[in-house]
Amino acid sequence: MSLPSISVIVPCYRAEQTLERAVHSVLRDAPENLELLLVEDGSPDGTGALCDTLAGQDARIKVFHRPNGGASAARNTGLENARGDWVLFVDADDELLPGLWQALEVPLADSPALVLFGMTRASGPAPCPLAPGQYPNTAALGQALRPLLFESGYLAAPYAKVFRADLLRRGKLRFDEGLKINEDVLFNIDFLLFLQNSSAIYCLPGVYYKQNDLLSGSLSRRLRGDLLDTEVYIRPSLARLLQSLSLPPETCQAMLQESEVRAALNQYGLLTGCKGQMSYARRRALFARILACVPARAALTGQLRADPNRLLALPYRFGVAFGLPGFLAAYTLLKNRLL
């Protein structure tokens, strides 16, 4: 049995320290009909030259240079030029683990819409909440849909999955270039919406992707203030997906609320745990929005009460308990300057 053609798309920006490792991981034991698309996104360092050097070493590598537009634009360039029957995304600082190409032979022969496979993170394991096997449609994911969306990261990233390319083309599916974070969440939701419960999803046993999320450039380690706005932008698509699955209204509402709460908690975590330049006014506005979400405020209160570093958590407990966004903003600014 042989594999159909697969297009692997790698957006490349400031990746000269990690790209060669990522490329070698993709090409390890890869079939001859694989194409590896390196999309160099106007990187100011030596990434572009490295892409060209790597392409000179293997005919399966194709390089596309484009002005900087972000990861979404780079992935869209890859989609526009992909010629394979299947599409797989890999980040330039991550890597594929051995055995994937052999493991894909059986599931791809049945032409499901999507194949998920296991991943791990540098920060720790990331078990897939979906049992191995084939599911006739999205609705058949059942209770695993919520952790797939919210807990595991399997539907919050473009990687650790293989998309059937003809469905991407027919649906004219692209990454939203207006989003700078969670554009992959929206892409996955749009893909599941396009399936309309008519195509199979296969979960492959085994771990074949490593996300190097402890690197300094990782989004999870960078101060930013757009998580709340992004969640509001994506929420209507999530609502349409949940409604298309004929879930009870209370279940849909609970999952939409969980989406809002998780965004608030993640934004709070960045504000309190990451150093970076952000004005007092911007911090205060974000804390105010977080505290205005009653379920998020309750969840924060519970987290802070359980924090083993009770003394360090005390200022945060005070600010959250009394609804003081200005105090929280001032305290985080002061802490960043002193620590």
Domains and CATH numbers, the chain: 6-220 (3.90.550.10), 223-338 (no CATH)
User: Could you please report the per-residue DSSP string of 121-178?
Assistant: ETTEEE--SSPSEEESSGGGGGGGHHHHHHTSSTTSSS-SEEEEHHHHHHTT----TT
Spatial separation of the C-alpha atoms in residues 245 and 119, rounded to whole Å: 26
pTM: 0.93
3-state helix, strand, coil in the chain (%, to 5): 50, 15, 35
- Digits of tens for pLDDT over the chain (339 positions)? 589 999 999 999 999 999 999 999 999 999 999 999 999 999 999 999 999 999 999 999 999 999 999 999 999 999 999 999 999 999 999 999 999 999 999 999 999 999 999 999 999 999 999 999 999 999 999 999 999 999 888 998 999 999 999 999 999 999 999 999 999 999 999 999 999 878 999 999 999 999 998 875 554 567 999 999 999 999 999 999 999 999 999 999 999 999 999 999 999 999 999 988 999 999 999 999 999 999 999 999 999 999 998 888 899 999 999 999 999 999 999 988 876
- Percentage of the chain with pLDDT > 70? 98
* Contact of 126 with 211, CB cutoff 8 Å: yes
**Count of other CB atoms within 10 angstroms of residue 229:** 15
Spatial separation of the C-alpha atoms in residues 88 and 159, rounded to whole Å: 7
Nearest to 184 by CA among 153, 208, 215, 214: 153
Spatial separation of the C-alpha atoms in residues 167 and 165, rounded to whole Å: 5
